[in-house]
Amino acid sequence: MSSADTINADLCIIGAGSAGLSVAAGAAQLGRNVVLIEKGEMGGDCLNTGCIPSKALIAAAERAHDMRNAFVFGIANEAPTINFEAVIDHVHSVIETIAPIDSQERFEGLGVTVLRDAAEFTGARQVKAGNKTVNAKHFIIATGSTPVAPPIDGLKTVPYFTNETIFQNRTLPDHLIVMGGGPIGIEMAQAFRRLGADVTVVEGDRIMNKDDPELVDVVRKQLIKDGVTIIESTFVDRVEKTGGGLRVTADNKTIEGSHLLVAVGRKPTVDSLNLKAAGVEFSNKGITVDDYLKTTNKRVYAIGDVAGGRQFTHVAGYHASLLIRTILFKIRAKNNEAIAPWVTYTDPELAHVGLTEEDARERHGDINVQSWEFAENDRAQSERDTRGMIKVSTKKNGEIVGASIVGRGAGDLIQPWQYAIANGQKVKSFTNMVAPYPTRGEISKRVAGAFFTDTLFSDKTRKLVSLLSVFD
């Protein structure tokens, strides 16, 4: 029985971001007694400060870019008049449109008990949130991640943006310095440049260093064409205020700017949970989980960013689906997030699933790598956008181990390759596909066909065809 200050539940979910909301909705609709605890905004990072606002900003930037580059279609180029406050209004309007789906009211309508407070474990099977104590059969930690502030001299003395604050800014920067060349930093760099700001990116490694360098180079060239200054293999040593903004010193280079965006990574959000009281182990990388997302406390699970794996909303949703099967249907569902793709939403987009070429060679040795350029795709030609390519790595028997695409719509085009890898399919499955013409999707069939080209047109095959001709 529950009392005014004590709630007994089947599931207690901590965190109302993508992962937590997905489990809460599924479990409640399957008749379970669910408590959902959230100390911040419903919808978490993706809705409020991540995926949604960034893509809304990128969409605005793309429209400005199209206006500047319409002449190739016989339409006069026009310098856009950008009202940055209106752009930010657009961003928040998109958030507000989606917000009801993630709202407290909707989840309470599903029968979920929603507590808007910080959660703290007080025992192995007990959590306190405000003046409420929750006892549950199972706990799911889905608290996500937060931006990292690196220990750089002077950083604490200057104002700076992270992805959690930049969409609250209503003034277009004169010169935005972006510290970090990963997906967040690069997406924002291009968007702000196209909206009229000068932008410099400083990256200690190479930009987008988890992706295939050959494909990253296509993105890099477009960024440079857009006017983004990229400084790679350079570490920031110091940040300081100036009369008109700030100064960044990086390996003896000095960069003057008006605003700073720090995008050097994220860390799991665990500090206030008192995980020690629950017997849950964790590190700087995240909460320790097994292959089934169970922590060192058999009644506690961790999913999404806080579990220390790939930090993507779709991975969080995937984790949620695994726990629905594991906890509610008693089907042990193993986590295999290596099958999840990732996409950087630059122009052109860059998408990947499975192993990169480098990783595939390291793991499998002698592999087959095929590529196909968008310049050979008729739809790309008709759209006057032939930037990019597809690259696919396979074992010698045709089993697909990785695919990367850079080009317009790469995030959509990668999906059949994700399906193929997740289901252990071979490259022949794409040659059997009939792709509609003219579409960019034809590039998948083309690259798959290239796997068989040497065999198909070999001397051996030609001799076979010649022998078979006697039956004409």
Kindly list the domain boundaries of the chain, sorted by start residue: 6-146+267-338, 155-265, 348-456
Q: What percent of the chain has pLDDT over 90?
A: 93
Question: Average of pLDDT values for 187-201?
Answer: 98
User: Which CATH class, in words, describes the domain spanning 348-456?
Assistant: alpha beta
> Residue 307 pLDDT > 60, yes or no?
yes
Q: Which helix (H) or strand (E) holds 389?
A: strand 389-394
Closest CA to 407 of 361, 346, 321, 454: 346
The DSSP call for residue 384 is T
Q: Give tens-digit pLDDT for 32-49.
A: 999 999 999 999 999 999
CA dist list (Å): 223 to 49, 204, 233, 346: 23, 18, 17, 9
Q: Is 101 helix (H, G, I), strand (E, B) or coil?
A: helix
State how far the Cα of 162 lies from the Cα of 184, in Å rounded to an integer: 10
Site of tokens 């200050």: 5
Given this model, what pLDDT does residue 452 score?
A: 82
Question: Average of pLDDT values for 324-340?
Answer: 96
Q: What is the mean pLDDT of the chain?
A: 95
Given this model, what pLDDT does residue 462 score?
A: 62
- pLDDT tier, 461 (very low <50, low <70, confident <90, very high otherwise): low
Given this model, what pLDDT does residue 470 score?
A: 73
155-265: CATH architecture: 3-Layer(bba) Sandwich (3.50)
Given this model, what pLDDT does residue 469 score?
A: 74
The pair of three-digit structure tokens given for residue 178, joined into one six-digit string: 């972006």
Axis-axis angle for helices 313-323, 18-29 (nearest 10) = 30
State how far the Cα of 213 lies from the Cα of 358, in Å rounded to an integer: 10
Count the alpha carbons within 13 Å of 101 in the hemisphere toward its beta carbon: 13
Q: Give tens-digit pLDDT for 367-402.
A: 999 999 999 999 999 999 999 999 999 999 999 999
Given this model, what pLDDT does residue 1 score?
A: 46
> Residue 465 pLDDT > 90, yes or no?
no
pTM of the predicted protein model? 0.94
For 6-146+267-338, the fitting CATH number among 3.30.310.40, 3.50.50.60, 3.40.50.10680, 3.40.50.620 is 3.50.50.60
State how far the Cα of 339 lies from the Cα of 319, in Å rounded to an integer: 12
The DSSP call for residue 235 is -
Q: Is 434 helix (H, G, I), strand (E, B) or coil?
A: coil
Say whether the peptide bond before residue 159 is cis (omega within 30 degrees of 0).
no
* 166: Cβ contacts below 8 Å, ≥ 6 apart: 188, 261
Say whether the peptide bond before residue 53 is cis (omega within 30 degrees of 0).
no
Handedness of CA 107, 45, 219, 428 (dihedral sign): negative
Q: What percent of the chain has pLDDT over 70?
A: 96
Q: How far separated are the first and last CA of the chain, in Å rounded?
A: 84
State how far the Cα of 414 lies from the Cα of 348, in Å rounded to an integer: 14
The pair of three-digit structure tokens given for residue 155, joined into one six-digit string: 């950083």
Closest CA to 369 of 335, 395, 405, 389: 395
Question: Average of pLDDT values for 67-93?
Answer: 97
Q: Give tens-digit pLDDT for 239-294.
A: 999 998 999 999 989 999 999 999 999 999 999 999 999 999 999 999 999 999 99
> Residue 454 pLDDT > 80, yes or no?
no
Same fold, 155-265 and 348-456: no
- How many residues are there in the chain? 472
